[in-house]
Each structure stands twice: as C-alpha cells, then as structure tokens.
Amino acid sequence: MTEQLPISSDDARTNAPLKYAKTETFEGPIALERGDHLPKVEVVYETYGQLNAVKDNAVMVCHALTGDSHIVAHDENDDPGWWEIMVGPGKPIDTDKYFVICSNVLGSCRGTTGPGSINPATNKPYGKDFPLITIGDMVDVQKRLLDRLEIEKLFAVVGASLGGHQALCWATKYPDRVGAIAAIATGPTLTSQALAFDVVGRNAITLDPNFHDGQYYDKETKPNTGLAIARMLGHITYLSRESMRDKFDNNRLEPRAVDTEFEKHFSISSYLAYQGDKFVERFDANSYVVISLAMDHFNLGNTHEQLAESIGKSGCRWLIMSFSSDWLFPPFQAKQMRNALISRGKYVSYCNIKSDCGHDAFLLPNEFERYGGIVRGFLDTTTVDATFADVDVNQLPQDVKSIFHNKRLDYDQICGLIEKNSSVLDLGCGQGGLLMQLARQREASRLVGIELDEANLQAAIQLGFDVIQSDLEKGVPMFGNGEFDYVVLSQTLQSVVHTEQLVEQMVRIGKKCIVSFPNFAYKDLRNELYHEGVSPGTEHGQLSFEWFNTPNRRFLSIKDWEDFCKQKGVVIHDAVCLNSETGERVADDPNLNADLAIYVISK
Amino acid sequence: MTEQLPISSDDARTNAPLKYAKTETFEGPIALERGDHLPKVEVVYETYGQLNAVKDNAVMVCHALTGDSHIVAHDENDDPGWWEIMVGPGKPIDTDKYFVICSNVLGSCRGTTGPGSINPATNKPYGKDFPLITIGDMVDVQKRLLDRLEIEKLFAVVGASLGGHQALCWATKYPDRVGAIAAIATGPTLTSQALAFDVVGRNAITLDPNFHDGQYYDKETKPNTGLAIARMLGHITYLSRESMRDKFDNNRLEPRAVDTEFEKHFSISSYLAYQGDKFVERFDANSYVVISLAMDHFNLGNTHEQLAESIGKSGCRWLIMSFSSDWLFPPFQAKQMRNALISRGKYVSYCNIKSDCGHDAFLLPNEFERYGGIVRGFLDTTTVDATFADVDVNQLPQDVKSIFHNKRLDYDQICGLIEKNSSVLDLGCGQGGLLMQLARQREASRLVGIELDEANLQAAIQLGFDVIQSDLEKGVPMFGNGEFDYVVLSQTLQSVVHTEQLVEQMVRIGKKCIVSFPNFAYKDLRNELYHEGVSPGTEHGQLSFEWFNTPNRRFLSIKDWEDFCKQKGVVIHDAVCLNSETGERVADDPNLNADLAIYVISK
C-alpha cells in the first residue's frame, strides 16, 4: 500500500508516452569526441511556440540527468512536464515570444539513442557496448537537430545542472550559434565531493548481481537495487540540509507505509525507499551510468586561467545563477565562472539566489518569483539595443539612498562628469537608477552594475543592464585593468570598511573613477562635536541616523580624502563640492562649507 | 597490485590482535533500553597510565563508529592506535596524570559482544537476532566495567563523533559519575541529511545478496560489496569538500592501480575502492548496521527546550568542540548544545575550530595544536580551584588592545568597581587578562569569558576559565536573566556595529554591567575636527589608526552614551571618567576633559 510521500522536484516525471514528441534520425557513422562512432542516432524532441520568419527566436532548453524532452504540457490533457513554472505563454521563457526546443540527451532512455537502443551491428540493445559519451556529444546531436530545423543561431540556451553543462558547452564549442546563455545551478566541472557520490552510485549499479555487465535487457530481473541506491544517493544531493530538516526533523521516527525491500526505520528511510523504487520504473541503469559519466568527465578547467581560456571562446551574453544552499553545484563554482567571464571582458549578469531548497531549487516554486524574474529580464532585454530612451522614467523603481537628503543630488553631477559614449561600471548600482540616467543622457557604450541586494539586482537586470551580484567588502570582481572608462562609487565610501582595497581596485579597473561622499567636516557637524560634545550626525544633527545605528562606518572629511589620495598615489582630476541643501557648488573652503563631495580620480 | 593511496584518518586501523586488551564478562540477563535482554556481555578494553589511590583520575575515552579499544600503542613494538596524537605521556590526555580507559562498544566486532558473537541460546553467531541496541546500552556496559574496576566517578569522559554521543549519554544518564565531558565533533542527534547517508549505506548492506538476512557467518562469501559501498559513503562524509578538493582536484583523471571490482575511472574512484576493499577486511557488516542504527536513534531533543531539558540533568563541567568544515556533525549542532548548556547555567567552554579537514579533523594532526591545547587546558584546569593566586603574572600572555594607550588603564578601574565574590561575564575576554586580575584580587565566584579569536580562547581556557567562542555582533549567548553579578564590556563598544542589541542583552544577563569606551568628544579630538577639519582620531590625532583603517565603527561621546542610556531606559549607577594620559579621574566637564569612560549600568 503505497502512500503519498512528500513531493520533491521531479516526482512528477513518469515514463508516460510523450504524445507530442517528434523524432529526427541521423545516419552515421556519427563521430564522437572520444574517437568512437555510432552507426545512427535518433533524437526525440518537443517544441513549444512558433519559430518566427527570420528564425532568430529559438531557445534551446537543456534537461538534467534524468529528465526528458517534455518540459511542459502541450495542452490540458497532456501530462505535466518538468519545468512548468519556467516555460509557457507569459512565463519567463515565454512561448508567445520564443520558439522553445528541448531534445532528450544522447545516452538517455527517454527516446534519443542510448544504451537501451538496438545496436544495428548486433540487433540487440547496446548495453555495455554503448560508447563513453561526452557533454560535447550531447550538444553535437542538438546541433544536428538545429541544422535539420534550419536554425542558424539560437537566441539563447537555458539549462540547469547537467543542462547547464550543455549550455556551457554550447557557448564554448559553438560560440557563433548562440546569442545568450543562462547557466543555472551548474559548474565548470563537478567538485570532487559531487564526483565521489556519482562514483558510489555507479558502483552500486555495476556491482548489482543483476547488472550482468550491462547486458540485462533480456533478463527478467534488472539491476534495480543498485539503481535505486544510486537514486537515493543522488536525491540526498539534490536536497539541502535545511530542506531535509524541514521535511524530516519533526517526524523522524514516523516512516510511511511504503511497500519496499529497503529500510523503513525512519521517515527519511521510507522517503528514500519510495524515491528509489519509483525511479527504477522509469529509468535505465545503463543510461544512468553513461550520462553520469559524461557529466563527471565534463571539465572547463581546474584553475581560473584554464576556465578563463575555455570560457573566453564564447561570444554571447551570459546569465550565471546559483542557489545559496546548493551543495551539489555550490555557489563558489558559479562565482568561478563569473570571474572567468569577467576577466575575459564578457557581458555577464550573475546572482546567487538565497534559497533553502538546495540544488532542486531550480525546479521548485519557492524562490521562483526572484530567479524566474531574473531569467525573464535577462532574455527579454538581450535583444534590446539602446531602447532606454523609450523607458517611462515615472515607472522606474525608486532608489533612494541619500545620506543627507532624499534625493540623489550627486547623480546629476556624476552624469555631468562622464563623457558621452563611455563605458561605466556602477558599484552599488541599486535598481539601476544612475545607469538609466546615463543610458538616457550620455549615450553610454557599456553599462554594468554591481549590486548585493537580490531584489535590486532583479530590477536592474530587467531594465536591461548587466548586473553582477557582489559584496564590495569582499572586493570588486576581477575586471581587467582600465576595462571601463569610468568606475562610479556614489555615496558608499563612508559605509565600506575595506576602504583601501576598494579604492585600489577601482583605480585599477577604471580609466577614471568618480567617488561621492558626505563631508563629515561640514561646519554644522564640526559645531555639533565642538560645541555640543555629541557625535557628528547624531539625532541632534542633520543626518537621519544616530551614532549607534548609522550605516556609516567611516567618517571622513574632504581634507581626509585628499590626504588619503596623496598618500596612496591617487591622482585627483576634478572635484565638485556642494551644499546639498541649496544644491549649489561651494568654492569657498569646501571642507568647511560643503556637505557633499564628488571627486574624479585615477591611478 | 595495491599501491599506497592517500592516507585518511583511520587508515592505520587494522584487524591486528589487541595484545594488551583485557576482557570482563558480565553474566545476564543484561537488560537493554528497548526491552530486550542479552544472556551475557563480554567487554574488551585497554587502559593506559595508573589509577591513583583515591581512584579519581580515570578518563574514559569513547571511540567512534568503526574504532576499537586500541587508542595508542602500549610500547614501541605495539601497533599504533587511532588517537596517538591525543593520548599518552605528555599528550593532552596525559597518561602521566590520568588513568585512561577505552572499551570497545557493545555491538562491535572488535572484541566486545556483538552480532558476530556466539548466541548461547543457539551456539551460533547472533546475526539478525542481535537486538536493536542504543547508545545508552553502550554506556551501561561501560558503567558495569567501571563498577568492576571499583571506580566511583570518572574524572572525565572524552569522545568524538559516536564517541561524543557516548560522552553526552554519560553526562545525562549518569550525571553523578562524571566530573567533566569533552564532546568533540558530535551533536545532540544526527541531522536528517547525515541520517539519510546511513540509511543508504545500510540499504546497500542489507540488500547485498550475500547478506542472507544477517546469517552470513557460515557462508564463504560475505556481503562485502554492500559493506564497502556503505564505507565509501561514510568516508565521503568524514572528509570535507575542501579536503577532497586538495586531494583530488589536480589529479582527477589519474586513478591508482588498485586491484578491485569497483570503478576506477577517476582518482577518487580508486581511492574509494581502496577504502571500501580495505574496510571489509576488518569490519563486520552486521556490526555496521547495529552500531549505525544505535547512532541514528540517538536524540537528546529536536528543540532547544527538549535539549536543555535533557542536557540540564548533567552536573559536570563541559567542553564542546566542533570543526568548521565538519558537515556530518555541522558546527551549528555544537552551538545548539552550547546554548542548551548555557541556558541551564552549566559550566561550559565552547570552540568551533577553523579547519578544512571535515569531520575527520579530530583524528588528524593539521589543527591539533589548537584543539589539542584546548582539551589539555580543559582537563588540566578542571581540578584547579582558586589556585589563581599561584599564577606568575609575568608569564601571562600580553593582551594589549587599548585604543588610546598600550596599557589597560580601565582594567584596574573595572576591578575596583566589582564587589568581592561576584560572578562575572567578560565579553571579549581576550586571553583572560581581566578575568585573571579579578581572580587574583577580587575572589570572584564564577568567571566566564566570551571570545571570538581561537588562539585567545585557547590561552584563556588554559588559565582555567570557562570560555565560550562567540561573535558579539551576533548576540551574547543565551545566559539566564541576571545570571551574572557583572557583565563587562571593556573597550569594545566602539567597534561593535549592533550596539543596541548588545547593550540590551548585557543588561538582561548582568545584574550590573560595566562598559568602558573612549570618549570621542575629548577636547583634543574636538579640536581636530573643528580647527583642522579632519576626522577625529586620524593620524593627526592621538589614536593610532587612520579614518580608513580604524577598528572603531561607532564614534560616541560621553554625552551620546548618557543620552543613549536614557533613551533605552538603562540606569546609570556609577561613572568613572579618566584622562588616560595622567591616569587621573576627571571631575570637571568629563565630556570635554576625559578620554576614557567607565560606566556601571543596569536595566
């Protein structure tokens, strides 16, 4: 009596027939990357939406290890697919706009040629004779499909997990044929820890006495115990410690009534047993071995230099996204890719979505509003060139951060200091307010933002900017020397603890840098400390914070700043000192009479 | 041809005979916690050092899942044991001082009665008839051994991992029979994630066709495949992602020439194969199932309240230690125990050792200097009552933190403000300087420190204080309301960002609190900002830092502080305002003329 158990990511997947799947056949010999050949390859795929006349709206969605071509239901009578939340009319990958293609990967058991397919040479299933394939081989089959469909260039490739590996492979193997890549919950290679779990899973399969060296297709009993154990193990890596805690900690000793040979001591035991038993009904052990080996061999480089070299071949716009609790593809791997792309001058947005859902987060609705919104914004603005002038400024998000007054007096000044057609990196770009002002007024050539807050980042990406999530306290990402005409740090200097590091990195990356900050030697503040004996800018003053809760950590004057620049060998090109109440420039003793300073500096 | 592979924690363990092991037999029926009985129990144990005449120097060391009684070699011809670094003459658990006992756990295959032992009822090995045992049953056998050795009370119990569970069980089941507990790399229960790995490992064993429902002892082939897979899996959880990266990332595709049935595609494959194959030579599958189930059922409580209730039964001094990269028993579990102990007023030291070595860190030399030193300090001072007067102050570590001058002028003042025989909590105790001054001058009743830095913490624990590692920015640990006569925060207020939270928690925990801080409205500092227009306390001033690198984050004056106290309803009982240059008290306008302030406050 199988009771309904807690539902995880891909529980909805079944081995139901794919009613809308199409098949293309490629006669061989088909060369594989490791030198083997396949006599013939059949590929099963599904499509959604309409390919437009110029064929430039095709989005390839790549599925994960045990997925298939069925992303979403084609109609209300169709079975649900594995990414219903992401793909469809009005969804982030909007089938009203895009022609979405998803093909089952080479090596699978869900239609495309795999170890269970008939080997024309023997008229029996390949079994152990199926060659060792690579992610590149999977992508090659997809490319053949594109050729058959006469699509010259993909608008985008979107993939998570193993699907992310395919997306990365597209970008590096066929850089001319893809316009944008969204690589989600993936990495340039597996960590040794993640690899180790695959090794143990495969050992459980291949040493199952029913595996028969892969030639079990004509046997009554399949290597189901081994495959189930591999699946249980995989399943643990798809969840996070936090999500397992939430599911199982409070009912630890309440196993469900699952009809299984496996252990049922704990509720987690019955859950894993259920997952294992269900999986063997729909998946083939040889396919699991072949696909996981392809994944385990994928490697864009062990070092930053190697990764930058391989990823440097790409010519597309990038979105790199990870999930904070994903330990199968930990966020540091996404950051490695981000750094490699940045170091090669690629156009990239990056976000590590805060989530408790682990690797499976990409399939779940929990944080979907945020990461779905970022994917939508990324895709929808990838074709937008210089349309910023059309943006209704009244619709722009409010981005109010001023220390002194609730308006960004410094924005106008900063815009005035930047020459037309300049490239600009805005550190702490918020929701993209300054970038938008620059885009509309200064015809900027390249506009990139750095932002820590996820919601701000989402808003700025949806405006069409490349935005990289990063904590300035941990340093500016690894852009090249002089990569931007201007690097801007507006009203942030005073709240950063690692001041020296930040300024050093700014002047390395920017040909020029613009820094605005409040002047804590402004006369009103001097008077407060001198005459009243209170911390400048407490409730007695004109700052809106008190000494114990102000976000400011550094209290500098214009003189302090100029001394600092001198000490650090930083050249001052220009300075605008303002009285923020009147909005006027202060010429007479700015360190006394100005409360806001804007400096143009360089190395 | 088995080549030497990278060595991990317990690779040194073999199934060599235990030359120095002794055996005690207890005739039954022996009652078990779950209601079953064993007709007889034999326990194998080893001892090191000499039991003193009053029998109060016995330390019980509890081994982990697959360990045994052989902690260290007894002589130079003896095989090495599993904790050579920790136990021996002059080692942290010093056999020149302590009589160390280690007994093999119930259920094991290393001498003590387990599923492979002969069941007197059948004259065959128990196999599946061996009952489901608990950690409590293991401890009960140890207690019988103690009774036999006529030891009334253990000086201490030390254990890591499953050994930590036994230590926790000693403290809660037999609180009168143990003086101190060092619980290392353990938790009040397994996380659901850790539990899940055990479940999969047991499934691999019990569904191995050679398991024969546990009755395999007379068969030629043992369930070695399943046991090896369980071991591989366990092994991954003993290492950390970082340690696996360091071992395997750079030689990923270079498997060693291991003679094995298991996968050898990757270097990690051959490593795991080697570990699995080696393990089955020395361990019994039924023992693995029985002991891991006992571990998985161990639970001191799912909530803080439950844990505080169970741990509240203890009457010993505690040392709780975790390792930062341990993901089998993640540091948050140690913190849960720390919080439960603190909330019940127990005497506890706590440290999360920074380490890349994962769970196995407790067996490895990498961070041993630090954690071994803490264990040594904890044990060696557990018997020290009021011997602080003997300490040579010239030997005390220098603890120089003063903001203004390189001496702790405020220490003398603070000591003077504290009544004799008071209990004191020192927030940010450093190496224990103020606590030692109090211990020597004020005959304090209970002295506890909070400290973030590991080296400082080690020094302070070695002086004999209970010291809890904690970041004050994240709040003060959960001591009871008014638990201390005094809570002290010396020269730290100005570098803490979460000021309000900290002060609120201080006045909750302390009947009175003493706060010392530099006065940023001191006349010299006022002059600097007013006349020179530079940030008070830059290089121009008398502070030794500049505006961009000072550790200070909050710049308050005496007036600011008094206003703050008023606003928060904090009562000021006393204030000492000093000129730190002259060392004299300032009566005339302290906010102008004093640079150092010490306040006694309460709720």
- The Cα-based distances of B73 to A64, B69, B86, B111 in angstroms read 51, 11, 12, 17
pLDDT higher than 70, residue A413: yes
Cβ contacts of residue A305 below 8 Å, gap of 6+?
Answer: none
The reported pTM is 0.94
Identity of the residue in A499, A548, A564 whose CB atom sits nearest the CB atom of B564: A548
Query: Does the CA dihedral A16-A17-A20-A23 come out positive or negative?
Result: positive
Structure tokens at A179: 């316009």
The H-or-E segment that residue B592 falls in is: helix B590-593
Q: With bands split at pLDDT 50, 70 and 90, how would you rate the model's confidence at B20?
A: very high
pLDDT higher than 80, residue A536: no
> What pLDDT is stored for residue B391 in this prediction?
54
> What pLDDT is stored for residue A28 in this prediction?
81
> What pLDDT is stored for residue B392 in this prediction?
53
In 10 A of CB B111, how many CB atoms? 23
pLDDT in tens, A228-250: 999 999 999 999 999 999 999 99
B156 strand-pairing partners: B59
Identity of the residue in B193, B236, B534 whose CB atom sits nearest the CB atom of A521: B534
pLDDT higher than 50, residue A473: yes
A77 touching chain B per CB within 8 A: no
The string of DSSP codes covering A505-540 is HHHHHEEEEEEEEE-TT-HHHHHIIIII-S-TTSTT
The H-or-E segment that residue A566 falls in is: helix A558-567
> What pLDDT is stored for residue A5 in this prediction?
40
> What pLDDT is stored for residue A580 in this prediction?
84
pLDDT higher than 90, residue A444: no
DSSP 3-state of A559: helix
**End-to-end distance of chain B based on CA atoms, in angstroms?**
73
Q: With bands split at pLDDT 50, 70 and 90, how would you rate the model's confidence at A540?
A: very low
Structure tokens at B399: 């603890």
> What pLDDT is stored for residue A598 in this prediction?
96
Which residue in B239, B504, B529, B553 has the most chain A C-beta atoms within 10 A of its own C-beta, making it the best mutation to test that interface? B529
What percentage of residues in chain B have a pLDDT greater than 90? Answer: 83
- In B81-175, which residue ranges form alpha helices assigned H by DSSP? 135-148, 162-173
- Euclidean distance between CA atoms A435 and A447, whole angstroms: 6
pLDDT higher than 60, residue B395: no
Lowest pLDDT segment from A217-221, B319-323, B379-383, B482-486: B379-383
A156 strand-pairing partners: A59
Q: Tokens 């009554």 belong to which residue?
A: A220
pLDDT in tens, B487-499: 999 989 999 999 9
DSSP 3-state of B584: strand
The string of DSSP codes covering A235-299 is HHHHS-HHHHHHHHGGGTT-------SS--SSHHHHHHHHHHHHHHHH--HHHHHHHHHHHHH-B
Structure tokens at A560: 């302090």
Q: What is the mean pLDDT of residues A176-189?
A: 98
A268 touching chain B per CB within 8 A: yes
pLDDT higher than 70, residue A405: no
Chain B hits for A330, Cβ within 8 Å:
241
pLDDT in tens, B106-141: 999 999 999 999 999 999 999 999 999 999 999 999
Q: What is the mean pLDDT of residues B464-470?
A: 95
pLDDT higher than 80, residue B33: yes
pLDDT higher than 90, residue A186: yes
Q: What is the mean pLDDT of residues A517-545?
A: 79
Q: With bands split at pLDDT 50, 70 and 90, how would you rate the model's confidence at B204?
A: very high
Q: With bands split at pLDDT 50, 70 and 90, how would you rate the model's confidence at A7?
A: very low
Lowest pLDDT segment from A546-550, B214-218, B448-452: A546-550
Beta carbons of B242 and A260 less than 8 angstroms apart: no
Which residue in B198, B203, B303, B557 has the most chain A C-beta atoms within 10 A of its own C-beta, making it the best mutation to test that interface? B203
Q: With bands split at pLDDT 50, 70 and 90, how would you rate the model's confidence at A398?
A: very low
> What pLDDT is stored for residue B3 in this prediction?
38
Q: Which of B403, B322, B397, B326 is nearest to B358 (CA)?
A: B326
Which residue in A34, A251, A263 has the most chain B C-beta atoms within 10 A of its own C-beta, making it the best mutation to test that interface? A263
Judge whether B326 counts as a catalytic residue.
yes
Q: With bands split at pLDDT 50, 70 and 90, how would you rate the model's confidence at A407?
A: low
Q: With bands split at pLDDT 50, 70 and 90, how would you rate the model's confidence at B394?
A: low
pLDDT higher than 60, residue A384: no
**A199 Cα to chain B: minimum distance (Å):** 6
In the stretch 474-533 of chain B, residues with CB closer than 8 A to chain A read 497, 499-500, 520-521, 525-527, 529-530, 532-533
pLDDT higher than 90, residue A331: yes
> What pLDDT is stored for residue B400 in this prediction?
31
> What pLDDT is stored for residue A406 in this prediction?
39
> What pLDDT is stored for residue A387 in this prediction?
52
pLDDT higher than 50, residue A179: yes
> What pLDDT is stored for residue A395 in this prediction?
52
Q: With bands split at pLDDT 50, 70 and 90, how would you rate the model's confidence at A397?
A: very low
Structure tokens at A80: 């649900």
pLDDT in tens, B292-302: 999 999 999 99
Q: What is the mean pLDDT of residues B334-338?
A: 97
> What pLDDT is stored for residue B13 in this prediction?
59
A305 touching chain B per CB within 8 A: no
Lowest pLDDT segment from A58-67, A147-156, A305-314, A392-401: A392-401
Q: Which of A446, A561, A467 is nearest to A511 (CA)?
A: A446
**B360 is known to lie in a ligand binding site:** yes
**A68 is known to lie in a ligand binding site:** no
**B187 Cα to chain A: minimum distance (Å):** 14
pLDDT in tens, A353-374: 999 999 999 999 999 999 999 9
Chain B hits for A529, Cβ within 8 Å:
520-521, 525-526, 529-530, 536, 557
- Euclidean distance between CA atoms B295 and A40, whole angstroms: 53
pLDDT higher than 80, residue B184: yes
Q: What is the mean pLDDT of residues A254-271?
A: 95
Q: What is the mean pLDDT of residues A459-473?
A: 94
Q: What is the mean pLDDT of residues B298-309?
A: 96
Q: Among B10, B208, B326, B410, which one carries the catalytic annotation?
A: B326
> What pLDDT is stored for residue B1 in this prediction?
30
Structural domains of chain B, ranges and CATH numbers in brackets: 9-297 (3.40.50.1820), 385-602 (3.40.50.150)
A420 touching chain B per CB within 8 A: no
- The Cα-based distances of A305 to A190, A192, A300, B371 in angstroms read 17, 19, 10, 37
pLDDT in tens, A149-175: 999 999 999 999 999 999 999 999 999
Beta carbons of A61 and A4 less than 8 angstroms apart: no
In 10 A of CB A572, how many CB atoms? 13
DSSP 3-state of B2: coil
Q: Please give the backbone phi and psi of residue B520, each rounded to the nearest 5 degrees, phi first.
A: -80, 0
Would the CB atoms of A555 and B535 count as touching at under 8 Å?
yes
